Chain A
Amino acid sequence: MKPLDPRLLRYSRSSRGFLLLSVIIALSGAALSIAQAYLLTSLITELFQKDRAIEDMGATLRILVAVFIGKAALGYISNFVSSRFSTRIKSELREGLINKVIGGESDALHRLGPAELSLLISRGINNLDGYFSKFIPQLFIASIIPLAVGIAITLQDWKSGIIVICTIPLIPLFGILIGRFTASATQKKMETLGLLSGYFLDLLSGLPTLKVYNRSKLQTKKLGEIGDTYRKETMKVLRVSFLSSLALELVATLSVALLAVSIGIRLVNGSMTLSSGLIVLILAPEVYWPIRQVAAYFHAAEDGVSVSNQIFEILDSESVNGTQIVPDIKAITWSELTVSYPNRSTIVIPAGQLTTGKIHALVGPSGAGKSTLIAILLGFTQISTGEIVVSTSSGDFSFDQIEKNHWRSLLSWMPQDPHFASTSVGEIINHKESVLSDVSLKVSDLPNGLDTHIGALQDAISVGQKRKLALARAFSKPSALLILDEPTASVDDVSEEEINRTLEREAKAGRIILVASHRPTTIASATNTIKIVAR
């Protein structure tokens, strides 16, 4: 785990100032701790060894009070600074993510899925809170205070200094050694916990199914058994992974004990003064606690780091986009294209051509690559090999070089699984009521006619009606290229005829129409067939 990702500085302008302020705060903290140790020691030794009355030490006492107030103020300031900066950094990262994802410049949506991505951007980013406002400042404190305090101890008593210098490196060293030893164990614990949580969610998601199968009553006991098994497994792992914190605490407290005993013996010998001894004793825990505190925040940091890794991966991902603007589309011609997805066999699309005024049927078994070709033409998927040429009234363009946002303004599309913005049917079809009859969708079938609100009430219309509406939306956008993915699936024969008539009319009007379909009549109505075979 990288505790501080350099990409943070790149993506968040605010982070530099934050890191600088964290250093200043840590330095002030060190100064106050050392001052407190000196003042307390001076008061104790004056009282005890020199038998001075407390009334004579008003000045020292006042300075001590000032140090306490300083500590309180620093506590407020450091929290304020870190939480303010955490807010700003989070906000910068959120905006970056929204721009990147909504702008269609990242494949994160496909990799993570909408639910996970939304969770990341809303609540997931809050995992950075602990990371920015606790872990990072503590990281600076842990590297500055032990050093400063160590120097102060060495100045008082070099022998104690040696003990401190010898034991400080033991903490990170033990941490790393045991960390490495327990890393796989921790990983295993996280995995089992994740698995258990996933299992539980899966079980709840499938509850309606279990219920209709009359098997839902058997699971409570099983949940208990599985929970028990996992608990035992996890505890085995935890017994090992807690060893690391045990080692850290042992080093810290044993060192203090070691120092105290050695100081005590040297005091008896007379080779040391009480004030040096007390200063070392008061300061000694200050050497160790910041490092231990880092370990305590480690959990928060781990969440934060994994979230920031996810975020930076998305922000880092480069979209491949061209710059050329095409005025119109006369034809699209491609050589054999391949698209490789991880963990899946490569999809091969044979060479083909789309020309104006024709209906091109895209056929082939499911999974062969029909949707892939459509995604390529929409500019959502990159091809691995092959070439696509777009012919226009001002010459031929290579598809790679075309600016895709402008390209998409030239085409219209009906996806297989349509979604609509939360608005009325009228709004969705650009108030072109005629397109509804083109797709055989009757206004009277919609609960509130053209004012039927989609989105808020996704259930107001049926699946089939939704598909027809998506088709109507595709027709309603003036476009040179019309891409339709299964326009006649889940549609009855009468509607299919109506839709096929519309397709013919639109093709005659000079549009390029590409239709992916399983339906024989739709395929038959096409003038050209593009066949993709599964390999």
Chain B
Amino acid sequence: MKKLARFIRPQMPALLQAGIIAGISLSMSVGLLACSAWLISMASTRPPILILEVAIVAVRFFGLGRGVVRYFARIREHDVALNIQTRIRQSIYSTMEERMPTELIGIQRGKILQQVVTDSEAIQDLWLRIALPWVAALVSGASGIGIIYWLDHAFGILAGAIFLAAMFVIPFVSILTSAGSEQRATEEELFDGFIQACDSIEESLVFGTNSAVRDELMKTQGKISQNERKLSSVAGIAESLQALFAGSTIGLAIIASAHAYGVGKIPGVNIAVIVLIPLAIYDGLPLTFAAFSQVTTLMKRADSLAPYLQQILEDGVPNQLSHEDVVLKFTNLVPNTVAGRLAPVTAEASPGKPLVIQGRSGCGKSSIINAILGFVDYTGEITKIDSDSTSIMLQNDHLFATSIRENLKIGRPEVSDREIMQILEVVELGSLIQSMPEGLDTHIGPYGFNLSGGEKQRLKLARVLLRHTSVYLLDEPFEYLDVQMAQRIALKIERILVTKTLLIVSHLPLRLSEQSNTLGLVSVNSKP
């Protein structure tokens, strides 16, 4: 929470300004009722109409001004809120960017990412629906109390004290009674359970395990309802407190103005003004206070977001790609993730001499790539390779929800359409993409064209091939492809990368040229 407060400090003046404008608009409601009360009371004494003229103008002014000022307050609020949103996004991004790719892949798998994004949007309510309306209520209350004080000092002070108490006590009670921390935990439980159930729903139907899953989910849902029932018994406390504060102020206003009138401290026309102002002040409050029930939840969200809120880092400039010849060599290598299960491996890839690592599933093929990239620890020796000279295709590479061209240009922004089409031919996507009405501009992803698993895989392959570097590390580049296509594409890749150092990890039996080496991985404890 502190971190969030520090983070939005630069926007504070703008937020406060928006709150005060909103407060002025609320004050106009108070002014409207106060002036009207005076106007009516005064009119009943049948004075010359001229005396009423000022009040009539004021009533009309407040009647008109309320809505207009509110309009500008709203616009100001949303402008600031959107600004903060952008800054939060930038901060989340640059914090995540600092982490290791393997760590990031861990984050992608869980729902942390989705959570971070929704949290960053939800916490907007902390200022838009809670802080700003509270400031506005305070401003309007202060102006109403100010009028009362002007008319009757003593009661003004009393009404002010009651109002201040209401402004602090009611939100406090509201926050206290709504602390539904368990609620969120069980909701997460239901979410996790359900998402797991969804993944395997068809299998559970075939293998008859779905009723057990259903019982489990129903139990969690029962817990959620039970928690909510507990909360509903305190849900109305804030609103009834508000009614009590309002009632007592109005009641005291009647008694106080009666006495003040009795001793001649105020003229009779002011009685209605003093009595009706509290009515106007407290009228708008229930909405403001109701929002405070969300504070606990929002604070938790802000806390879980806190690690991502820091100074926004300046963008760096990517280094130039390097084309110098590199020999990639590893000796007696055993990645720690498969220690004890994989015999030490020694192999080498150099320009024109590609290396294919093959082996049964689970034997540690991907671990070798991760060790080369320094993502996992290992024993043995590996030639250091430089990230500026290496192109990597990982197993869970991401295609962005943008055009095919944009996706392919990530590797090398200056690449030409001609080069792109040449590489698309290599991965056998050329005719498919030419057949698309928008060609390379076709959008892919959830809102665009739906590519099949094999097509996506080949697009990722094209992207890595478009990047000009000296080393290429391809982890399972032919997943989702059949053997014949994989074999064809592998040979073409070998040909175009003949001057480069190429390492392919694959479970498929690939046959490259005679210059290539194949390293078959064997688990230590598997017997021939």
Bound Cα distance from A65 to B17, whole angstroms:
38
Q: Could you write out 17 A-B pairs with CB less than 8 Å apart?
A: A73-B240, A84-B229, A91-B221, A102-B201, A114-B195, A118-B191, A220-B94, A239-B75, A260-B40, A264-B55, A267-B40, A268-B43, A277-B40, A380-B202, A421-B209, A492-B361, A518-B482
The segment out of A5-13, A404-412, A524-532 that lies at the interface is: A404-412
Q: CB of A419 within 8 A of chain B?
A: yes
Bound Cα distance from A118 to B179, whole angstroms:
24
The segment out of A310-318, A463-471, A506-514 that lies at the interface is: A463-471
Total chain B interface residues with beta-carbon distance under 8 A: 167
Bound Cα distance from A114 to B394, whole angstroms:
25
Inter-chain contact A445/B359, CB cutoff 8 Å: no
Extra pairs beyond A103-B210, A260-B39 (4, CB < 8 Å) = A72-B244, A74-B243, A103-B214, A263-B43
Bound Cα distance from A99 to B315, whole angstroms:
50
Q: CB of A158 within 8 A of chain B?
A: no
B246-277: CB near A (< 8 Å → 1, else 0) gives 11101100110111011000001101100110
Inter-chain contact A413/B203, CB cutoff 8 Å: yes
Q: CB of A472 within 8 A of chain B?
A: no
A117 CB, min distance to chain B CBs, angstroms:
6
Inter-chain contact A206/B398, CB cutoff 8 Å: yes
Inter-chain contact B47/A224, CB cutoff 8 Å: no
The segment out of A145-153, A176-184, A243-251, A389-397 that lies at the interface is: A243-251
Inter-chain contact B240/A76, CB cutoff 8 Å: yes
Inter-chain contact A254/B401, CB cutoff 8 Å: no
The binding surface of chain A is classed by DSSP as helix
Q: Which one of A102, A245, A344, A490 lies within 8 Å of B361 (CB-CB)?
A: A490
Q: CB of A442 within 8 A of chain B?
A: yes
Bound Cα distance from A123 to B188, whole angstroms:
8
A69-104: CB near B (< 8 Å → 1, else 0) gives 101111111111011101110110011001101111
Query: Which A residues are CB-close (under 8 A) to B222?
Result: 91
Inter-chain contact B66/A102, CB cutoff 8 Å: no
Interface centre among B94, B199, B229, B387 (most CB of A within 10 A): B199
Bound Cα distance from A53 to B263, whole angstroms:
11
Q: CB of B376 within 8 A of chain A?
A: no
**Which A residue sits closest to B244, measured CB to CB?**
A72
**Which A residue sits closest to B187, measured CB to CB?**
A122
Bound Cα distance from A285 to B34, whole angstroms:
13
Bound Cα distance from A200 to B87, whole angstroms:
12
**Which B residue sits closest to A222, measured CB to CB?**
B315
Q: List B442-472 residues whose CB lies under 8 Å from chain A.
A: 445-447, 450, 452-454, 467
Query: Which B residues are CB-close (under 8 A) to A103?
Result: 210, 214
Query: Which A residues are CB-close (under 8 A) to B33?
Result: 256, 281, 285
Q: Which one of A94, A442, A491, A495 lies within 8 Å of B221 (CB-CB)?
A: A94
A505 CB, min distance to chain B CBs, angstroms:
22
Inter-chain contact B315/A47, CB cutoff 8 Å: no
Query: Which A residues are CB-close (under 8 A) to B360?
Result: 464, 491-492, 494-495
| 6 A-B pairs with least C-beta separation | A464-B361, A257-B63, A68-B247, A227-B86, A79-B236, A114-B198
Bound Cα distance from A211 to B257, whole angstroms:
72
Q: CB of B233 within 8 A of chain A?
A: yes
**Which A residue sits closest to B190, measured CB to CB?**
A122
**Which B residue sits closest to A463, measured CB to CB?**
B361
Q: CB of A119 within 8 A of chain B?
A: yes
Interface size class of A (residues with CB under 8 A): 35 or more
Inter-chain contact B213/A72, CB cutoff 8 Å: no
**Which B residue sits closest to A79, measured CB to CB?**
B236
Q: Which one of A122, A126, A463 lies within 8 Å of B188 (CB-CB)?
A: A122
The segment out of A228-236, A330-338, A350-358 that lies at the interface is: A228-236
B268 CB, min distance to chain A CBs, angstroms:
4
Query: Which A residues are CB-close (under 8 A) to B312?
Result: 220
Bound Cα distance from A84 to B286, whole angstroms:
19
Q: A118-B191, A217-B317 are in contact. Are A261 and B56 (CB under 8 A)?
A: yes
B196-224: CB near A (< 8 Å → 1, else 0) gives 11111111111111100110011001101
Inter-chain contact B202/A461, CB cutoff 8 Å: no
Inter-chain contact B62/A257, CB cutoff 8 Å: yes
Q: Which one of A68, A227, A257, A462 lies within 8 Å of B32 (CB-CB)?
A: A257
Q: A296-B287, A378-B202, A468-B361 are in contact. Are A278 and B90 (CB under 8 A)?
A: no
B6 CB, min distance to chain A CBs, angstroms:
19
Q: CB of A20 within 8 A of chain B?
A: no
Bound Cα distance from A256 to B39, whole angstroms:
13
Q: CB of B52 within 8 A of chain A?
A: yes
Q: A221-B315, A490-B361 are in contact. Are A80 and B235 (CB under 8 A)?
A: yes
Q: A68-B244, A257-B60, A366-B452 are in contact. Are A212 and B66 (CB under 8 A)?
A: no
Q: CB of A43 within 8 A of chain B?
A: yes
Q: CB of B300 within 8 A of chain A?
A: no
Bound Cα distance from A264 to B251, whole angstroms:
25
Q: List A31-77 residues whose CB lies under 8 Å from chain B.
A: 40, 43-44, 47-49, 53-54, 61, 64-65, 67-69, 71-77
Inter-chain contact B244/A204, CB cutoff 8 Å: no
Q: Which one of A87, A109, A277 lies within 8 Å of B198 (CB-CB)?
A: A109
Q: Which one of A53, A463, A519 lies within 8 Å of B258 (CB-CB)?
A: A53
Q: A47-B257, A256-B36, A281-B36 are in contact. Are A274 and B44 (CB under 8 A)?
A: yes
A516 CB, min distance to chain B CBs, angstroms:
12
B444 CB, min distance to chain A CBs, angstroms:
11
Inter-chain contact A413/B206, CB cutoff 8 Å: yes
Inter-chain contact B83/A246, CB cutoff 8 Å: no
Q: CB of A207 within 8 A of chain B?
A: yes
Q: Which one of B66, B90, B105, B210 lies within 8 Å of A223 (CB-CB)?
A: B90
Q: CB of B232 within 8 A of chain A?
A: yes
Inter-chain contact A257/B64, CB cutoff 8 Å: yes
The segment out of B108-116, B148-156, B488-496 that lies at the interface is: B108-116
Q: A238-B75, A465-B362 are in contact. Are A48 and B272 (CB under 8 A)?
A: yes
B521 CB, min distance to chain A CBs, angstroms:
10
Query: Which A residues are CB-close (under 8 A) to B62?
Result: 253, 257
